[in-house]
């Protein structure tokens, strides 16, 4: 080939390589698995709790377990929620899945069809006998008469408010109803401050806050008995109308908010209220510069007429995916060890206040209750435990087990509906109808 011909073809070759590289990156390949999972003499644990304090706390616990000289020592590998769907599929295909994979209910419905999840019914029954699980812990992992993951800790949403900022606005009582909440948000808005900071980006944070309000309005169960979406209902529309009204008192760029932005606004004093889980407790004093007494908490406000207590609540659990029985048994032993009251508190206090106990003896475990954050905010912690009793999760309400819920939550349909209303100005009834169609498409594939 002459130099001239090479010169002629060089741009085309460069173009082909560049576009092929990009295209294959977008393609249907299963991707590489950087951190290979199970195998060897260690049990591999994958979890998605990335904050360093959580990783360090769990590593300390794992080190302590490994000092007991188990047959299979445990090694944790931290994963990313945004990548775990790809990674676990690739790992299962290449038989390098972890022995233990932490999960939430809808993620379990995604992983089970991959074919490696082992039922853990026997060990969960044993643990229930020993520690007495609360009912909501195991229900979302129970399907086809088997339990598919060992429940480890719970999470529930609350209304968080700045007592100092609400007092400035003349509000002395925590909002109990939707109307109270709107009034408080309006009163606290002004002078560069927002009454409430709400997420409205296309993400799970938005889904969850909206769902908490849906529960309080009796719209938490939006599936028929045979698992088909039943979303287009008046109470759903009402909830989205309410959320849209509330967003008037949220920062103007809320349409791009996820987990972090409302908390930052709340702690910096740029917003007086927020709705989230217990991760607000630990950093409050340091980040806000205010005393712990200024952090108020209350159950999710409900409609004055016909409302009911409710909040999104779900147990996080651990699936066992070991290839052979010996490793599976060792994985179960490790999980059982974690749930022993003397260890459980240390496990939960990786993020005190966010990770709530799921067992009766865990609630009373000194290893949990003695933590400074728990003692400082004991009233809020108790309220969270109480709120947990009325908590639920979409797709798993009242014993449901919707196999395709992962398809719906994965696409953030609830967040997409509020974006249509708040960003595009679409009529709530139309947006909810569009959401119904999105859910049908997601379920039918």
Partner 1 sequence: MSSTAAPGAEGGLRTRQGGAPHRSAGAAVRPRPRRSRRGAGTLLGIVLVAPLILLMLLVIGFPLVNTVLLSFQDQGVVGTPSSFVGLRTYQAILGDSALWESLRRSGVWLVGNLVVQTVLAMATALLLTRVGRWSKAARTWVLLPWVIPTVAVAVIWQWLTNSNYGLLAKGLGVLGLDGVQFFADPDWAMPTLILMNSWHWFPLGTVIIFGALQTIPGEVYEAAKVDGVNAWQMFWHITLPLLQPVLFALGLVGTLWSFNIIDSIYLVTRGGPSGASTTAPVMIYDTAFKAFRASEAAAMSVAAIVLLGILAWLYIRFAKPEEV
List residues near partner 1 by CB under 8 A. Answer: 7, 11-12, 14-30, 85-86, 89-90, 92-93, 110, 113-114, 194, 201-203, 251-256, 261, 264-265, 268, 270-271, 406-407, 410-412, 416, 419-420, 423-424, 442, 445
**71 vs 81, beta carbon nearer partner 1:** 81
Beta strands 74-78 and 43-47 are parallel
**180 vs 244, beta carbon nearer partner 1:** 244
**264 vs 429, beta carbon nearer partner 1:** 264
C-alpha distances out from residue 10 to 4, 13, 16, 22, 399, Å: 10, 5, 10, 18, 62
- To partner 1, the closest distance from the beta carbon of 228 in angstroms equals 18
Neighbours of 398 (CB within 10 A): 8
> If we measure between CA atoms, which residue out of 40, 34, 90 comes closest to residue 323?
40
- To partner 1, the closest distance from the beta carbon of 419 in angstroms equals 4
C-alpha distances out from residue 136 to 4, 50, 103, 379, Å: 73, 25, 15, 22
**32 vs 306, beta carbon nearer partner 1:** 32
In whole angstroms, give the CA distance from residue 158 to residue 275. 6
In whole angstroms, give the CA distance from residue 417 to residue 207. 10
> If we measure between CA atoms, which residue out of 149, 151, 147, 187 comes closest to residue 170?
187
- To partner 1, the closest distance from the beta carbon of 303 in angstroms equals 27
- To partner 1, the closest distance from the beta carbon of 202 in angstroms equals 4
- What region, left, alpha or beta, does residue 40 occupy, with left being phi > 0 and alpha being psi -120 to 50 degrees? left
**6 vs 304, beta carbon nearer partner 1:** 6
Name residue, tokens 């698995």.
33
- To partner 1, the closest distance from the beta carbon of 24 in angstroms equals 4
- What region, left, alpha or beta, does residue 78 occupy, with left being phi > 0 and alpha being psi -120 to 50 degrees? beta
- To partner 1, the closest distance from the beta carbon of 129 in angstroms equals 35
**199 vs 345, beta carbon nearer partner 1:** 199
- To partner 1, the closest distance from the beta carbon of 38 in angstroms equals 16
**268 vs 375, beta carbon nearer partner 1:** 268
Counting Cα atoms < 13 Å in the Cβ hemisphere of 49 gives 27
């Amino acid at each position: 080939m002459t130099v001239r011909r090479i010169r002629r073809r060089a741009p085309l070759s460069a173009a082909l390589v560049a576009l092929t590289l990009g295209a294959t990156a977008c393609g249907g390949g299963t991707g590489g698995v950087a951190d290979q999972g199970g195998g060897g003499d260690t049990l591999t644990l994958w979890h998605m709790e990335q904050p360093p304090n959580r990783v360090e706390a769990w590593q300390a616990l794992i080190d302590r377990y490994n000092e007991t000289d188990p047959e299979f020592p445990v090694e944790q590998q931290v994963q990313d929620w945004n990548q775990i769907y790809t990674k676990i599929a690739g790992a299962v295909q290449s038989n390098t899945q972890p022995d233990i994979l932490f999960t939430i209910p809808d993620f379990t419905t995604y992983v089970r069809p991959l074919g490696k999840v082992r039922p853990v019914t026997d060990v969960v029954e044993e643990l229930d006998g020993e520690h007495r699980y609360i009912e909501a812990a195991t229900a979302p992992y129970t399907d086809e008469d088997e339990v598919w993951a060992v429940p480890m800790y719970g999470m529930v949403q609350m209304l968080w408010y700045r007592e100092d900022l609400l007092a400035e606005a003349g509000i002395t009582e925590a909002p109990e109803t939707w109307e109270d909440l709107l009034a408080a948000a309006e009163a606290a808005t002004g002078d560069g401050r927002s009454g409430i900071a709400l997420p409205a980006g296309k993400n799970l944070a938005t889904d969850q806050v909206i769902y908490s309000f849906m529960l309080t309005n009796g719209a938490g169960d939006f599936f028929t008995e045979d698992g088909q979406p039943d979303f287009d209902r008046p109470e759903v529309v009402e909830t989205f109308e309410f959320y849209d009204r509330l967003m008037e008192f949220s920062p103007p760029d809320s349409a791009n908010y996820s987990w972090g932005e409302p908390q930052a606004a709340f702690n910096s004093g740029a917003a007086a209220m927020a709705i989230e889980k217990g991760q607000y407790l630990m950093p409050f004093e340091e980040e806000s510069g205010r005393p712990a007494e200024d952090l108020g908490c209350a159950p999710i406000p409900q409609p004055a007429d016909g409302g009911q207590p409710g909040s999104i609540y779900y147990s996080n659990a651990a699936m066992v995916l070991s290839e052979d029985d010996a490793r599976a048994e060792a994985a179960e032993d490790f999980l059982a060890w974690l749930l022993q009251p003397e260890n459980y508190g240390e496990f939960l206090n990786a993020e005190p206040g966010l990770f709530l106990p799921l067992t009766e003896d865990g609630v009373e475990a000194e290893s949990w209750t003695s933590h400074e954050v728990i003692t400082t905010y004991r009233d809020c912690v108790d309220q969270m435990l109480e709120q947990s009793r009325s908590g639920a999760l979409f797709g798993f309400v009242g014993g449901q087990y919707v196999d395709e819920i992962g398809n719906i939550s994965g696409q953030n349909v609830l967040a997409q509906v509020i974006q249509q209303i708040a960003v595009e100005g679409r009529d709530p009834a139309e947006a909810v109808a569009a959401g119904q169609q999105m859910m049908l498409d997601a379920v039918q594939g």
